Chain A
Amino acid sequence: MSTFDDNQDMRAQRDELLLAGHAVPDEPGIVDLVATLRRSVDAPAPRPTPALAVLLRDGLAATAIVPARAAATEGARRPLRRVWRYVAGLGLAGKIALGAGVAFAGVTGAATIGAVPHAIQAPARAVVHGVEHLFAPGSHAPVVPVPASSSAHSPASDAPRPTSSGAQPADSGHSPTSRPTPQESAPGIGLDGRSSQAGRPGGGAPTLPAQAQATENAAPGSAVVHGKPDGLPSPTPSASARADMEPAHP
């Protein structure tokens, strides 16, 4: 050890003696200061407030003292309990709406996230595909489901009515037959636009008939416009898609 270290150690020992209240030679001022501070502890105790006086006189019920384990788990349970209380406080309609919202969010998430396996994604996407038109902007008219066997090429003026010209070989082996294909009352987004998909390159599988392809893509031009090979529907077609629809009108 160097001389510097020796001095440091000696000073540290000296400081400890001072702080412990021992007399250290050559430092009367600091010794007096420490002694004065130590004497301040001998001053009379302050008077307890009424609340503390009651506690010192009567004690405290054991239940009022926070136990260690309960205090540790209290913080972790609090957010979950708060959510549970909120849900329990909702009315019946609120609970139904909340459940429907959670279910829809879950199904939509499973359908849109490509990270889930195909076995989960395919049925989820089918469900979303069946209900997505209900939430399309501008579709305030009553929605009537169309039987799976019905055609999808009726004119736009017939949009609110169910299609009756169902002699088309559509949906043969490709689209789910149990799924209704409802129409929309919004002009330009109706079923008339679907037939235009037949002449579009890349609009679907080339082996499918035009109506089958149109039935698969609920919104016209969505597969091409958005460049999605799986044909995810779009609620509103783009300007180019609307232009593509126009020649399809009778």
Chain B
Amino acid sequence: MIDDFGPVLARARAGSAEAFTLLYEDLVRPVAAYLRARGVRDVDDLTSEVFLAVFTSVGRFTGGQEQFRSWVFTIARRRLVDHWRSSSRTVPQEPYEPDDDDRSTESAEDQALDALGEERTLQLLARLTDDQREVLVLRIVADLTVEQVAEVVGKRSGAVKALQRRALSTLRRIVESEAVTL
């Protein structure tokens, strides 16, 4: 979170590189994690596309920090949809390759365990419907409230609550029946 968001946003509207960097560092990891959890394998280019769109249209935005976060994830979601459409309209569900993932700074043992846990988590999420997965990832990874998620996905709050309830019920059922360990 940024302490003085108002002045930073004002400087970003004026095109300040320093303000861009502050906003980027605050949100780049959640955005990349959101894209990864939604099935994008190579998130570098797509994440940069999201922030290029954010910075070139930041003059349109009005609101506080929470609204800005919702707005950024709205752009990320639209870019993701465009990405899927351009790549033959299918969500890539490639198997996770822990050897290709160099994101951890922990020990090799912890890294392997985390990678395995993330792989299993992504596999579990892939068994949800697209709407359920979207809501759950936005709630957990993007750390948005129910109302913010409703704004991002264009649904009512009640519908978002229902989707997250069904998603968790499905995951509970899978975990209990298969005795999943992460």
Residues of A within 8 A of B (CB): 11-12, 15, 18-19, 21, 27, 29-30, 32-34, 36-49, 51-52, 55-62, 64-68, 71
Contacts and interface: CB of A to CB of B under 8 A. Distances in A.
Interface stretch (B55-63, B64-72, B73-81, B84-92): B55-63
Contacts of B20: 55-56, 59-60
B14 A41 contact: no
Nearest to A46: B44
Given A65-B57, A66-B57, A30 B172 contact: yes
A43 B29 contact: yes
A36 to B, nearest CB: 5
A51 B48 contact: yes
Contacts of B16: 59
25 contacts: A11-B165, A19-B136, A19-B140, A27-B172, A29-B175, A32-B117, A33-B182, A37-B33, A37-B121, A37-B140, A41-B29, A41-B141, A43-B29, A56-B17, A56-B20, A59-B16, A59-B17, A59-B20, A60-B17, A62-B15, A65-B56, A65-B57, A68-B60, A68-B62, A71-B59
Interface string B38-59: 0000011101110110011111
Contact of B30 (A11, A27, A41, A67): A41
A22 to B, nearest CB: 12
A65 B15 contact: yes
Nearest to B30: A41
Contacts of A64: 15, 56
A64 B53 CA distance: 12
A55 B54 CA distance: 11
Contacts of A11: 165
Nearest to B18: A59
Given A62-B14, A64-B15, A67-B59, A37 B164 contact: no
Q: Secondary structure of the B side of the interface?
A: helix
Contacts of B24: 48, 56
A12 B44 contact: no
B124 interface: yes
Given A45-B28, A46-B43, A52-B51, A19 B164 contact: yes
A57 B19 CA distance: 11
Nearest to A8: B165
Contacts of B168: 15, 18, 30
A74 B137 CA distance: 35
Contacts of A34: 140
A32 B124 CA distance: 12
Contacts of B151: none
A38 B180 contact: no
B176 interface: yes
B164 A46 contact: no
B139 interface: yes
A40 B36 contact: yes
Contacts of A37: 33, 37, 121, 137, 140-141
B117 A19 contact: no
Contacts of A15: 164-165, 168
B29 A56 contact: no
Interface in B135-181: 136-137, 139-141, 143, 161, 164-165, 168, 171-172, 175-176, 180-181
